[in-house]
């Protein structure tokens, strides 16, 4: 049994250890170490932002389901588009950051696909618009976790969860190539700015 004053710290530790599990998982986790009242666990879980977004998701038996968010900055996605073969300049990758609710997109040119460079670009976005609660990428969950770890290394107050891989249907790559062709330009930085303007 633990004192009431230490409930929050203990519950937060259990909650993180089981990956934002619900009431039942928290009860099971707390039984193995110490006794915490069920009412305290229910209150803690009811206040968890991540658990509340999970709770209201409908479960259907369909294979492909679009991930939607109703609020700005709740869920965002970052994708990297490979321009290594067609690039004329210094930058070989295009980072596409898009908010799921508003479909607002930000593009950034990258030299490499390293998590540190992606994290630096994302930090600039997050310091202007705020950080999303869930960040996902079509690259891989491991890549997303590496980017989040890079962000945590420089931004200790940062709180974000990796989401499941999703596919953006934005057509950024096609817009970018069309702009380059139509304008007869090889200036990729300028092109990415115009494509971002067209998309938004």
- Span 115-133, pLDDT tens digits: 899 989 998 988 888 888 8
Beta carbons of 44 and 15 less than 8 angstroms apart: yes
Question: CA 57: distance to chain centroid?
Answer: 18
Cβ contacts of residue 110 below 8 Å, gap of 6+?
80, 91, 92, 93, 94, 95, 117, 118, 121
Helix (H) or strand (E) holding 8: helix 7-17
Q: For 37-77, how does the pLDDT look when each residue is reduced to its tens digit (9 = 90+)?
A: 788 878 877 777 655 555 545 544 444 444 555 677 778 88
What sign has the CA pseudo-torsion 111, 120, 126, 132? positive
Q: Check: CB of residue 134 under 8 Å from CB of residue 76.
A: yes
Quick one: average pLDDT of 93-117? Answer: 88
The order of strands in the sheet holding 134-136 is 105-110, 93-99, 75-82, 134-136, 161-162
Question: Is the pLDDT confidence value at 160 over 60?
Answer: yes
Q: In 3D, which of 104, 102, 97, 106 has the Cα closest to residue 70? A: 102
Helix (H) or strand (E) holding 80: strand 75-82
Instruction: Say whether pTM exceeds 0.85.
Output: no
Tokens of 150: 């890079």
């Amino acid at each position: 049994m633990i004192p009431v004053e230490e409930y929050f710290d203990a519950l937060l530790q259990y909650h993180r250890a089981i990956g934002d599990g619900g009431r039942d998982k928290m009860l099971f986790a707390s039984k193995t170490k110490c006794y915490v009242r069920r009412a305290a666990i229910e209150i803690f879980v009811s206040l968890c932002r991540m658990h509340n977004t999970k709770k209201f998701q409908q479960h259907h038996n369909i294979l492909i389901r679009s991930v939607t968010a109703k609020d700005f900055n709740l869920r965002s996605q970052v994708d990297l588009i490979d321009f290594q073969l067609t690039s004329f300049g210094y930058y070989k990758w295009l980072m596409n950051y898009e908010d799921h609710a508003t479909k607002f997109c930000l593009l950034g040119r990258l030299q490499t696909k390293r998590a540190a460079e992606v994290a630096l670009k994302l930090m600039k976005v997050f310091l202007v618009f705020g950080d999303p609660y869930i960040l996902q990428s079509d690259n891989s969950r491991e890549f997303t976790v590496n980017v989040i770890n890079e962000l945590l290394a420089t931004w200790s107050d940062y709180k974000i969860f990796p989401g499941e891989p999703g596919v953006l249907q934005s057509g950024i790559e096609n817009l970018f190539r069309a702009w380059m062709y139509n304008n007869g330009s090889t200036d990729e930085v300028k092109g990415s700015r115009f494509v971002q303007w067209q998309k938004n």
